[in-house]
Structure 1
Amino acid sequence: MKKIFVCSLSLIAIVFSSCKMDIVNPNGPTDAQVVSTREGLITYSIGMKQNYAASAFESLAITTGGTTREVKGIATFTTVLEIEAGGSALPTFNAAVLGVWLRMNRVMGMADDIIANAPTVLATDNAMRSGVVAHAHLFKAMAIGSLATAFEQVPIATNKAGGVTFVTRQNGLLKAIELLEQAAALIAATAPSGEFNTRVTGANFSLLNCINAYLARYNLMAGRYAQAIAASNLVPLSSASQFAYDGAQTVNPIFTQLRVTNSYSPRDNFGLPAGMFDPADGRIAFYFQGAQVTSGPDVLRTIRGFAQTNSSPIPVYLPDEMRLIKAEAILRSGGTVADAITEINAVRQQSSGDVFGVHANLPAYSGSTTVNDLLTEVYRQRCAELYLSGLRLEDSRRFGRTAPPANVNPVPVTFERTRNFYPYPDQERLNNPNTPADPAI
């Protein structure tokens, strides 16, 4: 049953129009019918998580990874070439941009269905209800936050009749934070049942830790630094939450894109320009393998890291992201520079003990201790630690990295992203009069 919820891009593109969430499937129950029963609601919750892990995350990581030069588009497909080129010429009909939009909206729609139906369907099952609803709040927040990474304005709710409205990305982040706070309150009031933990989240997914990690992430992105530090302090560095793949019904999407279809290939040294990486960084050997291959002005590698097989799990978040969130929040809020350096060095000097085996194994930071230079060091560490996590585009803007020119073809390349935000897909604009104007680049 689980596989019916893992939607391919082609299926989603047929289903969606102006963020409508109804699926017409003459051979199976509608979404409304599925979420009207206890078993259906539980299965739908599992499917929502799988949908994000196998489909939505792929679009976020690979598409924005192409825009931030973490990966290079090497296939001759128009969609790939357009993402690789970027700039003002990126068309509004690009299928990869449409994929980010539709897949995240699909996750949001599934979450909305669960949030709307669980209070009635699970009215007498408090422990299952709290888990299912909190879980849906988490994934709705993740979908909104991901859209806010890629687009200037975003929807924060789905509308089965179409014609969703938009809010600024800042308000989208605040909505994601609100959802996460509601999720934390739900499970604090009523602990999720053992059945929920076994059937929905599984052994390698801590709902509370994921909620707090994303609270830290989105509070940082929203400029709420005290709240970001507080949330990051609640996340145990020894806990590992993962998206699981079985290699059959659900397949590791990074492995598929970078080692099977080979539409994209990793740029060496995390896609950073010369001078921004340390060749002694242990994370180079963690994320890449094989010989360096020259492709025009680029050096390409084979992906390793969390994409070694079609069933390799992918972290929901990396624990050291919490350290880097604290370092950045301290620096941006006027905190003690020494405290920020402590967090930076905890990441730089780590040679063992990381639950995912991601170790920089570098010496302590010895550069300039001005706030701006330390922020550059935080950015450098985030680029290496969080490679292909879908966070680089947001990071590149937030850290004020060189913005792309309208024409992104000059060589050598001196910028680290080929777009600031994506244009809104034609499919949305043609069906929704509320669609905002496209950004220039």
Structure 2
Amino acid sequence: MKIRYTILTVVMLALTSSCELDQVNPNAAAGEQVIGTREGIVALSIGLRQYYSTTGLSSVILASSTTAREMKGFATFTTVLELEAGGADLPTANAGILNYWSAMQRVMTMCEDVIDNAPQITSIEPALLSGIMGQAYLFKAMALAELAMAFPQANISTDVSAPVQFVARPQVFAEAIRLLDLGVSAVTATPPDASFTSAIAGPDFDLVNTLYAMEARINLMAGNYQKALDNANLVDLAKTSRFAYTTQSPNPLYTLFNVTKSYVPRDNFGLPANLYYAGDQRYNFYFNGIKTVVGGEVTVGLTGFAASQTTPIPVYLTDEIKLIKAEAILRLNGSLSDALAQINAVRTQISGDPFGVNAGLPPYAGEVTSDALLLEVYKQRCAELYLSGLKWEDTRRFNRPAPPADLSERNRIFYPYPDQERLNNPNTPEDPAI
């Protein structure tokens, strides 16, 4: 598949046909003719982050959060009903899967254009260039990780001349980590200056800490637990990183739940009773308490990071980093008391979280064994990181009940490849059974 020439058309057709999550990206670069100029690279750098934070997150959250049973699709549109049902009959023509695949391919293309062209432009100052390169490495790595979370194989680059090749998802994670390493090296060798913040990143987006946070997140997924722990320890928990929104480029969670209204949050984070803690104050952050029975299930209104069109969404949560530390320690057979301390730092927080996501629970009182604490980490992640797009991957890593026998926590293991990819690329692998 000649992705660079075709993928934007695919994305626009997919989003137009679904009529669900179309997002405006006013800062996108106008065309390939501008990527040889300083102004063009700056515009593309702004545009790629904005595209990821709107269209990219829309596609990821819609699909994976439905598959992971965090939200319920109830509208009578085919795409919605198919994602909600999941299982072996989820068709390859599903528009939600196409949007997910296409959006991440588009992010990769934009990042590759920056990576290939920015170093050749001599008018870009070194301290601006390091930020531009670090951000491009970051978002390509994040796009690759999203593909690896949804498909058993994926491409690790786009191509204008030949159908792309696929590699197994451990190699996709490995490439994402390699890119993050390059990003860290770029911003360490030449720290980005105020020109990067003012021209591209804006005051809410912290590139350096986001690189370390994604190193921690993706290394954890890849099973590189020591590297996950090391990078989690480098994240400055006193700082935050957020995607900012405007009424022209609105918050995708707000759009999903307040404009399209095809999906509703399942009550209690969509968790079975044995995984949900009554009295968890994060419920009051994420939900407005207005409950409705939809299709025989209790659903609830959403607030939190979906409160308005302009509510920012965190790139990562401070408590995600604490839970990464706890999980990595446990999987390295480290100190149970150290892992428990990180868990309790999340559980018992009554106030002070920079995003207001405070659990307010009593200290953990269960068995202090590796298996029991890992289950507690999973429970905390399900509540803390609600609608972050991470739960589906967590269900695999924590070996949770799986379809087709049990649909309580996920209704697919991986997605089939979209028809559009298979029609254009003979290298497309066989679809997973479920």
**Preserved contact between residue 11 and residue 103 of structure 2 (Cα < 8 Å):** no
Say yes or no: does 1:247 pair with 2:247: yes
Q: What secondary structure, in the 3-state scheme, does the structure 1 residue paired with 2:306 have?
A: coil
- TM-score of the aligned structures, taking structure 1 as reference length: 0.91
**Preserved contact between residue 86 and residue 411 of structure 2 (Cα < 8 Å):** yes
Say yes or no: does 1:256 pair with 2:249: no
The amino acid of 2:137's aligned partner reads H
Deviation of 1:415 after TM superposition, in Å, equals: 2.4
Counterpart of 2:99 in structure 1 is 99
Counterpart of 1:349 in structure 2 is 348
Deviation of 1:190 after TM superposition, in Å, equals: 1.0
Deviation of 1:402 after TM superposition, in Å, equals: 0.3
Counterpart of 2:64 in structure 1 is 64
Say yes or no: does 1:419 pair with 2:412: yes
Which residue of the other structure, out of 396, 417, 436, is the alignment partner of 2:429? 436
Counterpart of 1:32 in structure 2 is 32
**Preserved contact between residue 251 and residue 311 of structure 1 (Cα < 8 Å):** yes
Counterpart of 2:12 in structure 1 is 11
**Preserved contact between residue 122 and residue 129 of structure 1 (Cα < 8 Å):** no
Counterpart of 1:82 in structure 2 is 82
Say yes or no: does 1:232 pair with 2:225: no
Within a 5 Å distance, the mapping from 1:385-404 to structure 2 comes to 385-404=384-403
Q: What secondary structure, in the 3-state scheme, does the structure 2 residue paired with 1:132 have?
A: helix
**Preserved contact between residue 82 and residue 94 of structure 2 (Cα < 8 Å):** yes
Q: What secondary structure, in the 3-state scheme, does the structure 1 residue paired with 2:130 have?
A: helix
Counterpart of 2:291 in structure 1 is 292
Within a 5 Å distance, the mapping from 1:174-193 to structure 2 comes to 174-193=174-193
Counterpart of 2:108 in structure 1 is 108
Where does structure 1 lack aligned partners over 5 or more consecutive residues?
Answer: 1-6, 16-27, 407-412
Distance 1:9 1:389, change over 3 A: farther
**Preserved contact between residue 36 and residue 121 of structure 1 (Cα < 8 Å):** yes
Deviation of 1:129 after TM superposition, in Å, equals: 1.3
Distance 1:130 1:324, change over 3 A: same
Deviations 1:94-130 (A, max 9, x none): 0000011000110000000000000112466212211
The amino acid of 2:288's aligned partner reads Q
**Preserved contact between residue 273 and residue 414 of structure 1 (Cα < 8 Å):** no
**Preserved contact between residue 142 and residue 176 of structure 2 (Cα < 8 Å):** yes
**Which deviates more from structure 2 when the two are superposed, residues 366-375 or residues 339-348?**
366-375
Counterpart of 2:20 in structure 1 is none
**Preserved contact between residue 9 and residue 103 of structure 1 (Cα < 8 Å):** no
CA distance in 2: counterparts of 1:122 and 1:290, whole angstroms: 55
Deviation of 1:297 after TM superposition, in Å, equals: 3.5
Deviation of 1:13 after TM superposition, in Å, equals: 3.9
Within a 5 Å distance, the mapping from 1:313-324 to structure 2 comes to 313-324=312-323
**Preserved contact between residue 29 and residue 44 of structure 2 (Cα < 8 Å):** no
Q: What secondary structure, in the 3-state scheme, does the structure 2 residue paired with 1:380 have?
A: helix
Deviations 1:183-217 (A, max 9, x none): 01011111223211112111011100000000000
Where does structure 2 lack aligned partners over 5 or more consecutive residues?
Answer: 1-7, 17-27
Deviation of 1:37 after TM superposition, in Å, equals: 0.7
**Preserved contact between residue 38 and residue 124 of structure 2 (Cα < 8 Å):** no
Q: What secondary structure, in the 3-state scheme, does the structure 2 residue paired with 1:306 have?
A: helix
Counterpart of 1:148 in structure 2 is 148
Deviations 1:223-282 (A, max 9, x none): 11111011001111121110011112x011111111111110000111101121011000
Counterpart of 2:54 in structure 1 is 54
Counterpart of 1:23 in structure 2 is none
**Which deviates more from structure 2 when the two are superposed, residues 50-59 or residues 28-37?**
28-37
Aligned length: 416
The amino acid of 1:382's aligned partner reads R
Counterpart of 2:210 in structure 1 is 210
**Preserved contact between residue 60 and residue 100 of structure 1 (Cα < 8 Å):** yes
Percent identical residues = 51
**Preserved contact between residue 42 and residue 200 of structure 1 (Cα < 8 Å):** yes
The amino acid of 2:32's aligned partner reads A
**Preserved contact between residue 12 and residue 102 of structure 1 (Cα < 8 Å):** no
CA distance in 1: counterparts of 2:354 and 2:161, whole angstroms: 45
CA distance in 2: counterparts of 1:8 and 1:45, whole angstroms: 20
CA distance in 2: counterparts of 1:318 and 1:29, whole angstroms: 30
**Preserved contact between residue 238 and residue 354 of structure 1 (Cα < 8 Å):** no
Q: What secondary structure, in the 3-state scheme, does the structure 1 residue paired with 2:275 have?
A: coil
Counterpart of 1:194 in structure 2 is 194
Distance 1:404 1:128, change over 3 A: same
**Preserved contact between residue 61 and residue 390 of structure 1 (Cα < 8 Å):** yes
**Preserved contact between residue 108 and residue 158 of structure 2 (Cα < 8 Å):** yes
Counterpart of 1:274 in structure 2 is 273
Deviation of 1:439 after TM superposition, in Å, equals: 0.4
**Preserved contact between residue 29 and residue 47 of structure 2 (Cα < 8 Å):** no
Counterpart of 2:160 in structure 1 is 160
